[in-house]
Amino acid sequence: MLLENKTAVIYGGGGAIGGAMARAFAAEGARVFLAGRTPATLDAVAEEIRGAGGLAETARVDALDEDAVNGWVDSVVETAGSVDVSVNVISQDALFVPLIDMPVADFGRAMEKVARSFLLTTQAAARHMVKQGSGVILHFGGSDSTNRMPGIGTVQIGCDMVEAMRRQWACELGPHSVRVLSMRTGGIPESMPDIPDMEPVKQQMVDATLLKRAATLTDVGRVAAFLASDHAASLTSTQVNITAGALVD
């Protein structure tokens, strides 16, 4: 198995993307620790993993609370002996407002949440990974330098900020054999609400691809498991394109 005897922490582990990664990690032998603010969704994913024979534990953690994040990661390492993979897939508080109309205070709060969450969760894992001399920090979203969509407010800006942090973290952690990666997405239709209004949006995602199929949650989990494994040992400071050709390099 790709991740046998590995320990993975996933912030936002109760969501569609985090849950997909958690299930894939566990299926490949990892012990997964799921964090979030909604125990019911975390427990649902954990129960599914356990039902399939995997190992999963949950904790209510606010990824904006420095003491809570550090304390939780320390407890994971004390329990499992290491933290080998750290994933933050907490969704942004997206503001879909043209920038010319964007309230400055609202923009600042949205950007601060993204920056604080990714800085705190990466710091907490990196401290242990540097001591271990190994580890993988994985982000989800990716940067799109060809973006031509107006009105998406803070969404792409937030993703680009995370990518800038990913590049800097990779430079600083590389000498310690810690890899930092992103998965570049063009949207996962399965992760979106199953309501009539969203069907045209989902179809647009499919139509935009070269393969005429959008990435699935299963795809997300399988690629994430590969990136977190030693099979991807030569990959760091890059984003892996899972858009099925919707976004081309």
DSSP code string of 106-144: HHHHHHHHHHHHHHHHHHHHHHHHHHHT-EEEEEEE---
Local structure of residue 101 (DSSP, 8 states): G
This model's pTM is above 0.85: yes
Domain ranges within the chain, ordered by starting residue:
7-239
The model's confidence at residue 197, banded by pLDDT at 50, 70 and 90, is confident
Res. 93: pLDDT tops 90: no
- The pLDDT mean for the chain works out to 94
- State the amino acid at position 173 in one-letter form: L
**Sequence-ordered strand ranges (E) for 99-233:** 135-141, 178-184
- Main-chain phi, psi angles of 50, to 5 degrees: -65, -40
Chain-centre distance of CA 169, in angstroms?
15
Between 41-50, 70-79, 84-93, 207-216, the lowest mean confidence (pLDDT) is in 84-93
The model's confidence at residue 195, banded by pLDDT at 50, 70 and 90, is confident
Give 203-210 contacts, CB < 8 A, sequence gap 24+.
205/246, 208/246, 209/243, 209/244, 209/245, 209/246, 210/244, 210/245, 210/246, 210/248
Tokens of 207: 């139509």
- Say how far apart CA 159 and CA 164 lie, in whole Å: 9
Q: Class assignment of domain 7-239?
A: alpha beta
Across 60-77, average pLDDT:
97
Query: Do 221 and 23 form a contact (C-beta atoms < 8 A)?
Result: yes
Condensed to tens digits (0 to 9), the pLDDT of residues 121-177 reads: 999 999 999 999 999 999 998 887 777 777 777 888 999 999 999 999 999 999 999
